[in-house]
Amino acid sequence: MAALYDLFRTPQPKDKTKVRYHARSVVTGKVDTQDLVRIIAQRSAFKEGVVTGVLVSLEDVLSELLADGKSVQLDGVGAFRISAKSPSVRDRHDIRSESIEFKGIVYKADKKLLRKLSATKFLRTKDSHCSEDISEIEIDGVLTEYFKEHDYITTKELEQLCGLSNATALRRLKDRVKEGKLTHPGHLRAPFYFPVPGNYGVSRG
């Protein structure tokens, strides 16, 4: 068992004549809850219904504890806690509880998990989605395949799919919004990009 990697060109903004490459891991698939339940059931004495029940309870309890300001440690997995955000103000007295919002979940991997993964072996992929010099046509092809199973894409997901830097992935997505291929509803910083009907295999009606 091994993870896959591919080689990508490293941007050289100061000297574009220099060529450098680096390796990145390649995502080869997605394991959802049903897959996870089946795998755990096959490796244990628990039936799938029991495993599903435990995972549902874990979701409920975890969200409650995090919302209560707790740090939750799962041995062998890691620790979870929430982060908050608020407007930037000059006077600290201008920040009140109603102006503070949930920002996200902070995850820190358990040392045991890190030790296990440190032994990961890598093999060069033979079927890369993208090359180090991916073209616009190739990106459109990747998006077409991606939208067969997903309703939207984020900058981070395009990064991982095509081995792009964050800035490049964001620029490619914004270019497609201007071209009318993608739509970016809501707040300007919202990370979700949706295909416009008639593009990327999405039906107009």
Tell me which of 60, 79, 107 is where a domain ends. 107
Angle, CA of 11, 24 and 119, to the nearest 5°: 145
Pair 19, 37 in one domain: no
For residue 183, being part of any structural domain is answered with yes
Sheet hosting strand 3-10, strand order edge to edge: 20-26, 3-10, 122-124
For residue 117, being part of any structural domain is answered with no
Report the domain count for the chain. 2
For residue 200, being part of any structural domain is answered with no
pLDDT given for residue 43 in this prediction? 96
The torsion of the CA quartet 157, 155, 125, 10, rounded to 10 degrees, works out to -160
Question: Could you read off the pLDDT tens digit of each residue along the chain, which spans 205 residues?
Answer: 789 888 776 655 566 566 677 787 877 888 999 999 999 999 999 999 999 999 999 999 999 999 999 999 999 999 999 999 888 888 888 888 888 989 899 999 999 999 999 999 999 887 654 444 677 888 888 899 889 889 999 998 888 787 777 788 888 999 999 999 999 886 656 678 999 998 998 877 6
Pair 90, 145 in one domain: no
What residues make up the domain containing 75?
33-107
pTM of the model: 0.58
For residue 169, being part of any structural domain is answered with yes
- Rounded Cα distance between 82 and 108, Å, is 12
- Rounded Cα distance between 196 and 140, Å, is 13
Tell me which of 75, 107, 139 is where a domain ends. 107
Any idea what the CATH number is for the domain that residue 99 is in? 4.10.520.10
| CB neighbour list of residue 38: distance below 8 Å, 6 or more residues apart | 48
